[in-house]
Amino acid sequence: YRRELLLPFSCMPRDKLYFEQSRVSAPYRTRVTAYPAPNGRLTATSNPHEWVSLAGITFTTSGEHGQNLQLYSVWAPKPGFAHPTFYVHEGVCEFEGTLYGEMAPRRFGTLPKECRVKHRLVFYLSKVDRGGRVEVRPNGGMYVIDTWQKRDNRQVSLAGLAFAVNDRKLA
């Protein structure tokens, strides 16, 4: 059963993104896809009379101050989705985009100094058929820590990954 929520023009992502979200019944996780203009909307699949959480869905609505993430050679942007990009704004580093890779576990990029963490952070992000683990390390390394179950499922969405940077404390 497909659910759809139309977005106002001022609240549409720049490119197609997807998120791994909670829902009320097994398998308890479902993909929510955010589409850009001209038909900006969020879509999700669930059974009738079930809810899907939209908590934690964040994305930028303009390309200001964004930089493409430099990817290691076995990784590339997923065709048809946003290029892996990061934004640093008011002490928060935020990501969007989708990776397509050859193998995991594997380092996919290195963050610039203005977007580094003090301690290792672990995130659970969306993949084709389930979630996957992404680690961000103090040296700037970003890793997919997972094994591909199928050869055609070698993608990970960075949408929604955000954290405070080294020298900034959030209230």
pLDDT, one tens digit per residue, over 62-78 is 666 678 888 887 788 88
Q: What pLDDT is attached to residue 96?
A: 86
Beta carbons of 29 and 20 less than 8 angstroms apart: yes
What do you get for the CA distance between the two ends of the chain, in Å? Answer: 40
* The two structure tokens encoding residue 127: 């993949």
Residue that wins the pLDDT comparison between 148 and 27: 27
Confidence of residue 56 (pLDDT cuts 50, 70, 90): confident
Confidence of residue 171 (pLDDT cuts 50, 70, 90): very low
Phi-psi region of 2 (alpha: psi -120 to 50; beta: other; left: phi over 0): beta
Alpha-carbon torsion, ordered 149, 153, 155, 161, to 10 deg? -60
Asked which of 50-59, 127-136, 139-148 is least confident by mean pLDDT, the reply is 127-136
Confidence of residue 30 (pLDDT cuts 50, 70, 90): confident
The answer to whether the peptide bond before residue 105 is cis (omega within 30 degrees of 0) is yes
